[in-house]
Amino acid sequence: MNLISLISSKRVGKPPIIILAPAIGIGLVMLLPLSYLIIRGMDASETTWELLLKPRTLVTLGRTALLMFTVTLTSVLISVPLAWLTTRTNLPLHRMWSVITVLPLVIPSFVGGYLFVSALGPRGLLQQALSPLGVDRLPEIYGLAGATLTLSLLSYPYVLLTIRGAVRNLDPALEESSRALGYGTFQTFVRVSLPQLRPAITAGSLLVALYTLSDFGAVSLMRYKTFTWVIFQQYESSLDRSLIALVSLMVAIIAISTVLIDIYTRGKLRYHSVGPGTARTPTKRNLGGWKWPALTLMTGIAMASIIVPASILWYWLVRGVSAGEPLSIILHDTWNSISVSMLAAVTTSILSIPLAIMIVRYPGRLASLIERVSYIGFALPGIVVAVSLVFFAANYAQPIYQTMWLLIFAYVILFFPTALGATRASLLQISPRLEEAARSLGYTSLKAVRSVTIPLAGPGVVMGGSIVFLITMKELPATMILGSLGFSTLATSVWSAASEAFFAQAALPALVLIAVSSVPMAVLVAREKGDFS
């Protein structure tokens, strides 16, 4: 394709109103939570500001930042060796390991928190098992240690997946050049491979840091008081809504600065290979005697992140069923969870289409501005969006206040970027020439989109939708705050039981939740494998 056709393919003109209007609408909707928080925050009285500016707030800030740091660091330390071992070495059963290591993604943080607390907490399963040996106290699980442990073991797959993708794209010729220039295996890894992986590590770290910042379930169960916990407490107890708005605004600022820091540190360095030559499939390194330590590491991570939690869950499940936990509630919760998540997934995916078309087919300042704005949802914690929408709806949108529609609205804001990313990626793979070919063969632009673009983009859009389904199932704080009175889902049921230490009662909904969210997960894993071949 020569230069002119490249340019001209992008300058097809202005987007038609059928694309432009919904795209702008989405941009405005995405701005709503943040702008409404600002408006409410400006109402704050002097006493509110005094309350906010107490040292207590600074302590919470420090705690939150510290947790973000420890969880991100731990995740990176776990993920780098795991990614390397499963993709670039002859690790036995590497296929199985690469599936197992991403499985923690299906465990919601509040389920993980509940399982770890019930096992490692005071008078938990471990202490009970050890008590015949005279152990009547375990090291304290509550606080930073417990929160770091739980969140790292559940969120490291975010880093792992991005690194794994990057490792696969590494050009082995770079490493071979380094070896030929006299550097050993380890030096090559540190000096050549690791710098190449930096963008992936940074991108994955960003996901983990935001995950930690927005987490409510695990930190609450681990009694580590971060901002989300503070907001929730304030929301439950206090009437000073402008205070809640200000605290939420602070969290939003932290989130957005995290994203900005990420963008800034990415810098302008080039990491892709320069010059021609396609990358060969890398050769796999023979682990030799290192096989056993490697397998021990893999087993250890698998035990801690998935096998032990699953066993604990199983234990509580058996206890719950034998104690006669009622099944009917579960059915009701399951139905609620699935229908709400399905609705969120479908709505979000459909809404992502016009903006994705605008970004891909009509790029320009307006398109990239709306795109950036729409990523706000990705950065904002669920609880922040929920609090803002509650205040907004109570004042301006009474008809949907306390209904499922407000909840769906929040999900759309929170998970829109996920759907947009998938839709955009699948549209990018479709050459505009295909639509043009259809038009020259007598199809109107709308018909061309229907008979050419949609069938080709469909699978990608559905993929994005199923990820939205998965994360909606796991969402807790927004569901609690925005769900109508008496509206319960699997997530809220697990939470209400676990937070009252009714561990056996939490087991069944937790299991169903994991089982249902595993379905889209399985598809994703299968797809990742497909990319490998």
Partner 1 sequence: MSKAAVKCGELTKSYGGKLAVDAVSFSVLQGEILSIVGPSSGGKTTTIRMLAGFEQPDSGEISLQDTLVSSSSIFIPPERRNVGIVFQEYALFPNKTVAENVAFGLHRLQQNEQHTRLSDVMEMVQISDVSNSYPHEISGGQQQRVALARSLAPQPDVLLLDEPFSNLDTGLRVEIRNEVRSILRETKTTTVFVTHDQEEAMFMGDILAVMSEGRIEQIGGPAELYHTPSTRFVASFLGNTDFLSGIVVDTTVRTELGKIPAPKESQPGPIDLVLRPQDLVVGEGPGEGTVEASEFRGPTYLHHIRLVSGDKVRVETPAYLRCEIGDKVKVGIGPHYQAVGFPSQ
Binding residues for partner 1, per CB under 8 A? 1-5, 7-8, 11-13, 431, 433-434, 436-445, 447-448, 452, 455-456
Give the Cα separation of 89 and 286 in Å (integer): 6
Residue whose CB is less far from partner 1, 173 or 456: 456
Comparison of 257 and 431: residue with beta carbon closer to partner 1: 431
- At which residue do the structure tokens 């930042």 appear? 65
The answer to whether the CB of 306 falls within 8 A of the CB of 104 is yes
Per-residue three-class SS string for 274-326: CCCCCCCCCCCECCHHHHHHHHHHHHHHHHHHHHHHHHHHHHHHHHHHHCCCC
d(CA 442, CA 461): 27
Place of tokens 């018909």: 447
**Beta-bridge mates of residue 285:** 89
The nearer residue to partner 1, 20 or 342, going by C-beta atoms, is 20
14 vs 123, beta carbon nearer partner 1: 14
Least CB distance from residue 279 to partner 1, whole Å? 21
For residue 68, the number of C-alpha atoms closer than 13 Å in the C-beta half-sphere is: 22
Cβ at position 413, least distance to partner 1 in Å: 33
Least distance from partner 1 to the Cβ atom of residue 278, Å = 17
Give whichever of 11 and 54 is closer to partner 1, judged by the CB atom: 11
- Provide DSSP, 87-150: HHB--TTHHHHHHHTTGGGGS-HHHHHHHHHHHHSTT-HHHHHHGGGT-------TTHHHHHHH
Nearer to partner 1, 448 or 494 (CB): 448
58 vs 434 by CB, closer to partner 1: 434
Cα-Cα end-to-end distance for the chain = 28
CA 468 and chain centroid, separation: 10
What is residue 327's three-state secondary structure? coil
Question: Would you say 25 or 432 has its CB closer to partner 1?
Answer: 432
Least distance to partner 1, CB of residue 265, Å: 32
Q: Which CB sits closer to partner 1, 7 or 17?
A: 7
Rounded least distance, CB 422 to partner 1, Å: 18
Q: What's the min distance (Å) between Cβ of 432 and partner 1?
A: 9
Which residue, 2 or 398, is less far from partner 1 as judged by CB? Answer: 2
Listed in sequence order, the residues at least 6 apart from 416 whose beta carbon sits closer than 8 Å to its beta carbon are 26, 30, 348, 351, 352, 374, 377
Say how far residue 37 (Cα) sits from the centre of its chain.
23
Q: What is the CA radius of gyration of the chain?
A: 25
Distance, in Å, from the CA atom of 402 to the CA atom of 394, rounded to the nearest integer, reads: 9
CA-closest candidate to residue 169, choices 14, 269, 273: 273
Helices (H) and strands (E) in the chain, counts: 27, 0
